[in-house]
Amino acid sequence: MALMHNIVHVLHFNEDDFTSINSSPRVGVFRDLREKRCLKLIAKARTNVDTVNGKKVNGIHVDLIPLKHCENLMKDEGSNLNNDYLLGRFVEERFVYRQSFVIRSYEIGPDKTATMETLMNLLQETALNHVASSGVAGNGFGATREMSIRKLIWVVTRIHVQVEKYSSWGDLVEIDTWVAAAGKNGMRRDWIIRDYNTQKIITRATSTWVMMNRETRRLSKIPYEVKNEVVPFYLNREAIATVNIDSEKIEKLTDETAERIRPGLAPRWSDMDANQHVNNVKYIGWILESVPINVLADYNLTSMTLEYRRECRQSNVLESLTSMKPNKTADIEQNKDKNNAPQFAEDNSCRSEDLECTHLLRMEGDHAEIVRARSVWQYKQHQII
């Protein structure tokens, strides 16, 4: 969760202040921007807004300011340029936070579509901006004010993502996110991603978060004061129906049960986040290091569940383990050999139409678990209409 002090984003386009917008709604590009205009977010107080702990949660309007005024705004000591470019907004009575993104060229893979890592990064960015825009943000990475006082941070324990379609380079996507309680001491965060043009939902995700002391690195109960901050934003809605969520136990892989092991994975300085541990999205790339190349090339990753066991620091060296089998929901009768066993290729990849993989990231030294994961893959050839 993440929410910036006294901010809600409402888009205001003043026709007198800029020339035109590209006629295609999927491309957020302002014409003649270099010649005459610059985009500037102006904070304006609102009346009749919600309150959190008795304090007003103010909004922010997005205005387009002529270029000649930009220099003065930049020099204005009262302007906070770091907070001016969060282009999301609250919808549905401030319970749902919505933000749009263009898929960049550096966010696509070899098949010219966004990667699972890209999607996870966009989900994380939307969540952080949600917290930053709520009016209760503290000085931590996604922490509220009361959390910052108590040196608490959010850590994710489990996340499940279902992808119907991967966006291509240049596509515009719209992400909604909201939060709810998860038991007595957890928080659930859900997301949906829509194609901006068609408004069709193309990705759904749900996650569970708990609190940890950033100094002792121990888990903590949610203090009463923190609950008072976040409960007003809770929305009892599920992005993925409970029956469709991958909630089954993820089996622990061993040297004997893993089909592929990729050792020597060392975190870099750039893999660390603001909470001084490896960013949870980085684990996906390491998990895929032990997936056969032909699976990465010929299959689409349609579902992924990650179960985070412990932190990873820069000094740690990891191993990635993977095992594969036909997806239990697929018809695999035609892929059985004489012994009634599923057939696998020489590189240990399954020839079934759909695959289910089990993954493990562990310390290379003592084999301590970092992340358990499960993924489902669909053969690309059978997705062609």
- Quick check: helix, strand or coil at residue 303? strand
What the block records as the tokens of 269 is 């300085």
For the chain, give percent helix, strand, coil, nearest 5. Answer: 20, 35, 45
Asked if residue 52 lies in contact with residue 234, where contact means CB atoms within 8 angstroms, the answer is no
Q: In terms of DSSP H, where are the helices of 88-223? A: 116-134, 145-149
- Point out the residues that are catalytic: 275, 277, 312
Cα atoms found within 13 Å of the Cα of residue 213, Cβ hemisphere only: 9
As a whole number of angstroms, the distance between CA 31 and CA 352 comes to 49
Q: For residue 156, what are the contacts with CB-CB under 8 A and spacing of at least 6?
A: 207, 208, 209, 280, 308
- List C-alpha distances in Å: 67 to 18, 43, 159, 177, 303: 10, 18, 44, 34, 46
As a whole number of angstroms, the distance between CA 188 and CA 210 comes to 9
Reference 323, options 265, 246, 251; nearest CA is 251
Asked if residue 360 lies in contact with residue 288, where contact means CB atoms within 8 angstroms, the answer is no
Amino acid at 335: N
Cβ burial 296-313 (10 Å sphere, 16+ → b, else e): beebbbbbbbbbbeeebe
Instruction: Give the CA-trace dihedral at 326, 253, 364, 216, to 10 degrees.
Output: 120
Asked if residue 313 lies in contact with residue 370, where contact means CB atoms within 8 angstroms, the answer is no
